[in-house]
């Protein structure tokens, strides 16, 4: 294993991201910038000197200056219900136009837009907001929620809202072949050694990556090390086919990759999983990769072996858009 730093991802994904089906179902105002931008999965950007009919173009949600009592808010419907562990309310590039304070509420509702009498629970009390900053908070309430309300006081702009947690997914898959590494089925990231240019969780997302930011990409390695990522499958299963997708990665795809896998039937710490992964059996021997291509492989090494964890090794570094491991749940 590479000797570089280990990043523990705690099995959490961004439940708010639009590619999982999350959407804004209500907002009090979006005069300067549309609310839907707040849940884009890629990092916010700043466009110098770009203006539209409402003013300076901003990558996020921005409301007009409030000239009466009250505050602005939006309601986000999660793509799937989930438990929320922590949040990041990101005001990147909003300086002088960020909210004074922020808070979060959540509820469970079967409606697209919760009814007025729905029971909203405060999961983050009112906090001060800083300009051009990430605001990370741990969430103690471990109830299952479907909707999140972001309150901004009294008005202003927020670049991104990240809701990190675990998705409530279907427990039984039957005998059909499924993608065991799809986040929509319940797969999640455990740890990696680097995610400098693209978050590890991107590799589990549905569909084809939209750009290089929509994948897992590491910084450039100088030396003989390599990069790696460990993920937990949606359920234990026997893998028949593997797909490594380097879509959009043309001058920065890995030269080679290999896969290891294991079945762990006891609950152990993520640190122990990382340590044990050094000795996991090979699921895929080291193979050559190519730019902007879907690489398909048959599972010949562990064909009849049940697995629930996969480790991706890339040599020496680079970016992968998606990994798909197809098999039957066991």
Residue 294 has pLDDT above 90, yes or no: yes
Q: Look up the CATH superfamily of 170-329.
A: Galactose-binding domain-like (2.60.120.260)
pLDDT by residue (tens digit) across 119-148?
999 999 999 999 999 999 999 999 999 999
Give the mean model confidence (pLDDT) for residues 41-63.
Answer: 94
- The confidence score (pLDDT) of residue 203 equals 97
Contact 44, 51 (CB under 8 A): no
Nearby residues of 210 by Cβ (< 8 Å), 6 or more positions away = 248
Give the burial string for 282-315 (b: 16+ CB within 10 Å, else e): ebbeeeebeeeeebeeebeebeeebbbbbbbbbb
Which pLDDT score, from 0 to 100, does residue 125 have? 98
Q: What percent of the chain has pLDDT over 70?
A: 98
Give domain limits for the chain: 14-167, 170-329
pLDDT band at residue 271 using 50, 70 and 90 as cut-offs: very high
pLDDT of the residue at 303: 87
pLDDT digits (tens, 9 = 90+) for 210-229: 999 999 999 999 888 999 99
Topology match between the domains 14-167 and 170-329: yes
Query: What number is the average pLDDT over the span 291-314?
Result: 96
Question: How high is the pLDDT of residue 261?
Answer: 98
The per-residue pLDDT for 2 is 47
Q: Quick one: average pLDDT of 35-51? A: 95
274 forms beta bridges with none
**50 pLDDT tier (thresholds 50, 70, 90):** very high
In angstroms, rounded to a whole number, what is the distance separating the alpha carbons of residues 266 and 125?
37
Q: What is the pLDDT of residue 265?
A: 84
Q: What is the pLDDT of residue 175?
A: 83
pLDDT tens-digit map of 229-266: 999 999 999 999 999 999 999 999 999 999 999 999 87
Strands 294-298 vs 227-245: parallel, antiparallel or unpaired: antiparallel
Q: How far, in Å, CA of 8 to CA of 277, rounded?
A: 14
Q: Let me know if domain 14-167 sits in CATH 2.60.120.260.
A: yes
Rg, the chain, Cα only: 21
What pLDDT, on a 0 to 100 scale, did the predictor assign at position 4? 58
Sequential DSSP letters for 231-249: EEEEEEEEEEEEEEE-TT-
Share of the chain above pLDDT 90, in %: 91
User: Average pLDDT, stretch 260-288?
Assistant: 95
Beta bridge partners of 204: none
* Residue 194 confidence class, pLDDT cut points 50, 70, 90: very high
């Amino acid at each position: 294993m590479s000797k570089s730093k280990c990043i523990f991802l705690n099995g959490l994904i961004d439940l708010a991201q639009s590619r999982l089906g999350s959407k804004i179902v209500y907002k009090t105002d979006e005069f300067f910038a549309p609310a839907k931008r707040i849940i884009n999965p890629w990092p916010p950007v700043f466009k110098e000197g770009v203006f539209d009919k409402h003013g300076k173009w901003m990558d996020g949600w921005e409301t007009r200056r409030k000239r009466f009592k009250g505050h602005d808010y939006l309601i986000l419907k999660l793509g799937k219900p989930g438990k929320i562990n922590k949040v990041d309310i990101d005001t990147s590039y909003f300086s002088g136009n960020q909210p004074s304070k922020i808070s979060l509420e959540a509820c469970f509702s079967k409606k697209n837009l919760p009814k007025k009498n729905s029971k909203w629970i405060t999961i983050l009390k009112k906090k001060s907001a800083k300009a051009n900053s990430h605001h990370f908070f741990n969430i103690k309430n471990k109830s299952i929620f479907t909707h999140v309300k972001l309150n901004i006081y009294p008005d202003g702009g927020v670049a991104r809202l990240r809701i990190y947690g675990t998705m409530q997914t279907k427990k039984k898959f039957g005998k059909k072949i499924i993608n065991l590494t799809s986040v929509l089925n319940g797969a999640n990231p455990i740890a990696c050694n680097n995610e400098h240019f693209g978050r590890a969780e991107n590799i589990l997302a549905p569909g084809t990556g939209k750009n290089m930011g929509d994948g897992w990409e590491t910084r450039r390695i100088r030396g003989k090390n390599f990069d790696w990522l460990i993920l937990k499958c949606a359920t234990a299963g026997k893998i028949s086919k593997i797909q490594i997708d380097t879509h959009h990665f043309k001058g920065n795809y890995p030269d080679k990759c290999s896969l290891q896998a294991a079945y762990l039937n006891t609950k152990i710490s993520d640190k122990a999983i990382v340590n044990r992964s050094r000795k996991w059996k090979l699921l895929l021997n080291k193979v050559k990769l190519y730019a902007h291509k879907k690489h398909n492989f048959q599972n010949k090494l562990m064909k009849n072996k049940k697995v629930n964890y996969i480790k991706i090794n890339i040599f020496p570094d680079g970016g992968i858009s998606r990994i798909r491991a197809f098999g039957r749940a066991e």
